[in-house]
Structure 1
Amino acid sequence: MDRLQAMTAFVRVVETGSFSQAARQIGVGQPAISKTIAQLEDRLQVRLLIRSTHGLSPTDAGVRFYERAKTAIHEADEAELEAKGAGAGLSGRLRVSAATTFARLMIVPSLPDFLATNPDLEVDIVLDDRVIDLVSEGIDIALRMGELSDSAAVARKIATGCRSVVATPAYLNQYGIPQVPADIATHQAVVYTQLGNSWIFRRDGTEASVAVSGRVRFTAAEGIRAAVKADMGLAVTSDWMFWPELQNGEVLRVLKDWTLPDIDLWAVYPTGRLASAKARAFADFVETIVG
């Protein structure tokens, strides 16, 4: 039995709470995981997991072994990288979670450069605007925007972006250009549900809160992009969301004398797990793109 592989299997089982989930992440059959855990318990002469109809949970000995095993796996990964040398590329598989629109516009176009630098690395990008469970999905690093809902999350802020009010030239030609935040009340708004119905503007120490109304609301950024580009109204978005259109003039900023709260971009790692060298390298890569 390979001790490091057995540790990896055990850690994945504890973090996912399932033999089948752990097997899927590692890429082996469930019987192989069950056999590995049984051999590990036999070797250690101690019960590591409690199996019940409610799932799997570690025993007291299992919790202690889990913490040590995580550290050992991380140290082994780092040792391999050190042995290969600082100039060597990364290898293996990296699973990344990111919002669909942000990844499509900001990450994917530059991804070939990252892959060229690391020819032995494979990247799985899980696209979802929702906050997913990093452990159960086997995610190594998540890119999340805004305030983090989990205060215990292991996270690093890698960029801060601007928010703007945007619309197409066609919409503005038909309905006029708002000059002050209060003018927005006379316009149609394309509402992103994650931001709510109230937009807060600031200028020279003055703050203005505007309640917006619109006939169309979206839970995902792709809907906001499509509606704005279809001349349906104004929207508050991060500049990242309309980066190509802001550059080519297809979408324009309005109320540029006023500022909206900035939006932070975070690299988030699974709670309780040390960030791998691959995950840190990917965070550095994203920072060079959007920072």
Structure 2
Amino acid sequence: MNRLAAMDAFVRVVDTGSFTGAARQLRIGQPAVSKIIAQLEESVGVKLLLRTTQGLAATEAGENFYEHARRSIEEADEAVLKARGVGAALTGRLRIGGAVTFSRLHVVPCLPKFLAMHPGLDIEVFLDDRNLDLVEAGIDVALRMGDLQDSSLTARKIGQGPRVVVGTPSYFETAGEPATPADLAAHQTVIYDQRGGGAVWNFTRGAAESTVTIRGRIRLTAAEGVREAVFAGMGLAITSEWMFAPELASGRVRRVLQDWQLPPIDLWAVFPTGRNTSMKARAFASFIEQELGPFPIR
């Protein structure tokens, strides 16, 4: 039995709460994980896991073993990376999570450069507008927008971007342009029905404030759908500037109410709790922060 590999499997079982979750992360069968844990328990001479109504949990001895095992794995990883040197530090597999549209427009195009910098690295990208459970999915770092709802997450703010009101030139030719936030009540709006979206918005201009409830005949839960609805002329959208960055640059969509400001949206690099942030995850977050630069994130 490879003791370090067995410890890694045990840590993953505790983190995910199941043999199945650990097997998914390790890319082996569930029976293989169960066998590894049984051999590990026989080797250390104590019961490390017990079954509960919620799944698997560590025993008291298992909790102590978990902390030492986790540190041993991290120290072993760090030792290998330091021995190889900074230039060859990033190796193995990096699993990244992010919203579909943001990742397609602003993350995936950066990956060739990051991979060229680290030829020993492979990347998996999980695209989902919902916030996935990082531990369950085995994600090393996720990029998330807006306010973080889970205060237990380990997160680092890596940017901030403006929100804008956008529409197509053809829509404005038909419906006219709003001159004030209050004018939005007379317009159809494509509503992004996710965190960072919604129907109620607070605009400011200097000391002036205007709170508006927009109306729309269509609500969507994915940014890709919002984009296509706007392109189809179904209405305006109040959205992050990143969502329409290429079209704003080309003129396919146009920004209005430019003298009014909306609350900006934050970009976070989020890391799973329970284990120290890997060097790969930290390096990727710093790389994306640098690559995105002042537009459209800051």
In structure 1, the partner of 2:249 is 247
Q: Using the alignment, how far apart are the partners of 2:225 and 2:96 within structure 1?
A: 23
**1:1-291 to 2 correspondence within 5 Å?**
1-51=1-51, 54-194=54-194, 195-291=197-293
Task: Work out the CA distance in 1 between the residues paired with 2:54 and 2:237.
Answer: 46
Partner Cα separation in structure 2 for residue 12 and residue 108 of structure 1:
28
- Aligned mates of 2:215, 2:67 — CA distance in 1: 51
Structure 1: how far apart are the matches of 2:45 and 2:55? 22
Greater shift after overlay, 97-106 or 193-202?
193-202
Question: Match for 2:258: what amino acid?
Answer: K
Residue deviations 1:107-138 (CA, integer Å, cap 9, x gap): 11111111111111111111110111111111
How far apart are the structure 2 equivalents of 1:90 and 1:126? 19
SS of the aligned residue for 2:41 comes to helix
Q: Write the distance in 2 (CA, Å) between the matches of 1:122 and 1:137.
A: 17
Give yes or no for contact 2:15–2:274 (8 Å, CA) kept in 1.
Answer: no
- Deviation for aligned residue 1:89: 4.5
The CA deviation at 1:29 is 2.2
Q: 1:284 to 1:54 in 2, by over 3 A?
A: closer
2-structure distance, mates of 1:265, 1:54: 33
Superposition TM-score, scaled by structure 2 size: 0.95
Gaps of 5+ in 2: 294-298
Q: Is the 8 A contact 1:166 1:234 kept in 2?
A: yes
Q: Deviations over 1:208-265 (max 9, x none)?
A: 1011001111111111100111111110111110111011111111000011000001
User: Which residue of 1 is the match for residue 296 of structure 2?
Assistant: none
The answer (yes or no) to whether the contact 1:89–1:117 under 8 Å persists in 2 is no
Contact 2:181–2:212 at 8 Å: present in 1 too? yes
TM-score (norm 1): 0.97
- d(CA) in 2 for partners of 1:137 and 1:14? 14
Amino acid at match of 1:210: V
In structure 1, the residue corresponding to 2:87 is in which secondary structure? coil
Alignment size in residue pairs: 291
151-160 or 68-77: which moved more?
68-77
Counterparts of 2:276 and 2:172, CA distance in 1: 49
**Alpha-carbon separation, structure 2, partners of 1:140 and 1:96:** 6
- Letter of the 2:241 counterpart: D
In 2, the alpha carbon distance for the partners of 1:33 and 1:221 equals 38
User: Is the contact made by 2:94 and 2:140 (CA closer than 8 Å) also made in structure 1?
Assistant: yes
Higher alpha-carbon deviation: 28-37 or 90-99: 28-37
Identity %: 59
Greater alpha carbon shift after TM alignment, 143-152 vs 54-63: 54-63
Give the whole-Å Cα distance in 2 for the aligned partners of 1:226 and 1:289: 27
Q: Is the 8 A contact 2:17 2:56 kept in 1?
A: yes
Q: Quick one: which amino acid aligns to residue 270 of structure 1?
A: P
Give the whole-Å Cα distance in 2 for the aligned partners of 1:93 and 1:123.
Answer: 6
Contact between 1:169 and 1:252, CA under 8 Å: does it hold in 2? yes
- Equivalent pair of 1:181/1:210 in contact (CA under 8 Å): yes
C-alpha distance in structure 2 between counterparts of 1:170 and 1:97, whole Å: 35
Q: Following the alignment from structure 1 to structure 2, what is the Cα–Cα distance between the partners of residues 243 and 190?
A: 17
SS in 1 for 2:216: coil
CA RMSD, 1 decimal: 1.2
The amino acid of 1:209's aligned partner reads: T
